[in-house]
Amino acid sequence: MGLASNCKNQMLFGRNLKSITCKGLALIVIALFLGVVLLPLLSGYGGMDKNNLDLVYSRSLSLDSDNGIRKDKFLEVPQIVWGLNNQKIAFARACLTARMLNRTLLMPSFSASLFYKEIDRLQPISFDKVFQFDRFDSLCNGFVQLGSFSDLRNQTGVFELQKGSGRKWTAERDLDQLKQFIKDPFDGYEVIRIVGKNPFLWHDHWPVKDYARVFECLVLVEEIAKEADRVVSKIREVGKEISSKIGSEQSDFGSDSSLLEPVPYVAVHMRIEIDWMIHCKKLERKLNVSEICSSRQEIMERVGNILGLKGPTVVYLAVADSLLEDSSILTGWKDGLVPVEKNKLGVDGIYKKYPYLIQSAIDYEVCSKADVFVGNSFSTFSSLLALERTQKRIRMGVTSSCGADVRWPSYAYNILGESNGPHKWMTNMSDSSLKAISYGSNIISC
Handedness of CA 86, 88, 94, 96 (dihedral sign): negative
Instruction: Give yes or no for residue 91 having a pLDDT over 80.
Output: yes
Structure confidence at residue 325 as a pLDDT band (50, 70, 90): confident
What are the extents of the domains in the chain?
70-217, 222-245+262-439
Question: In terms of Cα–Cα distance, which of 24, 7, 28 is closest to 16?
Answer: 7
Strands, E assignment, 53-195: 74-76, 104-106, 109-111, 124-126, 146-147, 158-162, 191-195
Mean pLDDT, rounded, for 359-369: 97
Cα 341 to Cα 348: distance, rounded to the nearest angstrom: 9
262 prior amide bond cis, ω within 30: no
pLDDT score for 396: 84
Instruction: Give yes or no for residue 318 having a pLDDT over 70.
Output: yes
Question: In terms of Cα–Cα distance, which of 239, 404, 380 is closest to 306?
Answer: 404
Each as own residue / partner, the long-range contacts of residues 390-397 (CB below 8 Å, 24 or more positions apart, any chain) are 390/212, 390/426, 390/427, 390/429, 391/212, 391/215, 391/216, 391/427, 391/429, 393/426, 394/429
pLDDT score for 199: 94
In this chain, the answer to whether the domains covering 70-217 and 222-245+262-439 adopt an identical fold is yes
Is 207 in contact with 432 (CB distance < 8 Å)? yes
High-pLDDT (> 90) share of the chain, %: 62
Instruction: Give yes or no for residue 192 having a pLDDT over 90.
Output: yes
pLDDT score for 436: 72
Is 384 in contact with 208 (CB distance < 8 Å)? no
Cα 250 to Cα 196: distance, rounded to the nearest angstrom: 58
Mean pLDDT, rounded, for 183-204: 94
Mean pLDDT, rounded, for 218-241: 96
**CB within 8 A of 346, min separation 6: which ones?**
234
Mean pLDDT, rounded, for 211-236: 97
Q: Which of 281-285, 303-307, 393-397, 419-423 is least confident?
A: 393-397
Instruction: Give yes or no for residue 34 having a pLDDT over 80.
Output: no
Structure confidence at residue 125 as a pLDDT band (50, 70, 90): very high
High-pLDDT (> 70) share of the chain, %: 76
Pinpoint the alpha helices (H) of 48-121. 50-58, 84-100
Q: Which of 23-27, 190-194, 413-417 is least confident?
A: 23-27
> In angstroms, what CA-CA distances link 11 with 1, 19, 246, 412?
16, 12, 102, 77
pLDDT score for 118: 53
Mean pLDDT, rounded, for 291-306: 96
CATH number of 222-245+262-439: 3.40.50
Cα 428 to Cα 43: distance, rounded to the nearest angstrom: 34
Residue pLDDT, tens place only, 131-180 = 999 999 999 999 999 999 999 998 888 999 999 888 899 999 999 999 99
CATH 3.40.50.11340 assigned to domain 70-217? The reply is yes
Mean pLDDT, rounded, for 37-62: 36
Instruction: Give yes or no for residue 446 having a pLDDT over 80.
Output: no
CA 86 to chain centre: 9
Is 257 in contact with 251 (CB distance < 8 Å)? yes
Is 228 in contact with 365 (CB distance < 8 Å)? yes
Strands, E assignment, 33-149: 74-76, 104-106, 109-111, 124-126, 146-147
Handedness of CA 175, 60, 384, 354 (dihedral sign): negative
Question: How high does pLDDT run on average in the chain?
Answer: 83
